[in-house]
Amino acid sequence: MRIALAQGVGPGGAAFEAAAREAARGGARLMVAPELSWTGYVLGRRAAELAEPADGPAAECAARVAAEYGLAVVYGWPERDGDTVRNAVRLVGPDGAARATYRKTHLYGEGERAAFTPGAEPVVQAELDGLVIGLLVCYDVEFPEAVRAHALAGTDVLAVPTALMRPYEAVPRLLVPARAYENGLFVAYANRCGPEGGYDFAGLSCLAGPDGEVAARAGAGPGVLFGDADPARIAGARAATPYLDDRRPDLYRNLTARSPRA
């Protein structure tokens, strides 16, 4: 599967559609845009004002774009459900139909915790072209448990819309490839880039493979990056490094009950 990472896309439908057009021209079957790609990341109190229901204008635009260009898309927006606002991402199929919606479970910092309610469903997946696509958002991928849960549930490609700022470049450079390697799956990590609201977003979007090799890596500027996710590499990597088979979950059961060290 050819995957496009739309680094720095947004806010709004025009930028999203332009990226989808470029992704389709490059032969992609899946395009992943950054976290909160529809609105921008630095929202503060505006998160509640800009929040839309799951079937709102952002969903309508994404469905139209996906169907018009014949590729699946992953985009992020602040989702309203009654009085609750969540940091959400949705996978839309190449036919324009919604396939999966995930709400960020690990909120980062006081700003996100003030604006959003965390999601409660750790593993959300959908099938695309014979591969299982899983969804996480930014900070989620930094928790090994979150990615391992996807691996155990059969995720082949983990799409991770992201808004990672400097000076945390170690996450895309080191941690994301490690997550892919230790779980034998692809991680499609699509970040924001450049200044916004006092932050400097790091870029460095990447497609990390199940063998730890990075098939594609962006720099610091905006653009659409392409990489290929070959399912044969998943089977080969898991056979060569059988972490999933060699686990000892009986030894780990008490870990979640332990308090962090003071």
Establish if 94 belongs to a structural domain: yes
Query: Tell me: the pLDDT tens digits for 150-185?
Result: 999 999 999 999 999 999 999 999 999 999 999 999
Query: Tell me: the pLDDT tens digits for 71-82?
Result: 999 999 999 999
Q: Rounded distance, CA 15 to CA 254, Å?
A: 47
Any catalytic annotation for residue 104? yes
Beta-bridged to residue 149, according to DSSP, are none
User: Which are the contacts of 150, defined by CB distance < 8 A and separation ≥ 6?
Assistant: 123, 125, 134, 136, 158, 183, 185
User: Which are the contacts of 31, defined by CB distance < 8 A and separation ≥ 6?
Assistant: 3, 4, 5, 6, 19, 20, 23, 71, 72, 73, 74, 224
Catalytic pick among 52, 104, 112, 206: 104
Half-sphere exposure (Cβ direction) of 238: Cα atoms closer than 13 Å:
16
Establish if 197 belongs to a structural domain: yes
Total of domains in the chain? 1
Helix, strand, or coil (residue 57): helix
Q: DSSP strand E in the chain: where?
A: 2-7, 30-32, 72-81, 84-92, 98-103, 125-128, 131-135, 157-161, 186-190, 193-196, 199-202, 206-208, 214-217, 223-228
Query: Tell me: the pLDDT tens digits for 106-148?
Result: 999 999 999 999 999 999 999 999 999 999 999 999 999 999 9
Catalytic pick among 35, 79, 112, 142: 35
User: Which CATH number belongs to the domain containing residue 29 in this structure?
Assistant: 3.60.110.10
Range of the domain at 165: 2-257
Half-sphere exposure (Cβ direction) of 178: Cα atoms closer than 13 Å:
10
Tell me the whole-structure pTM to 2 decimals: 0.96
Catalytic pick among 17, 22, 79, 138: 138
Establish if 262 belongs to a structural domain: no
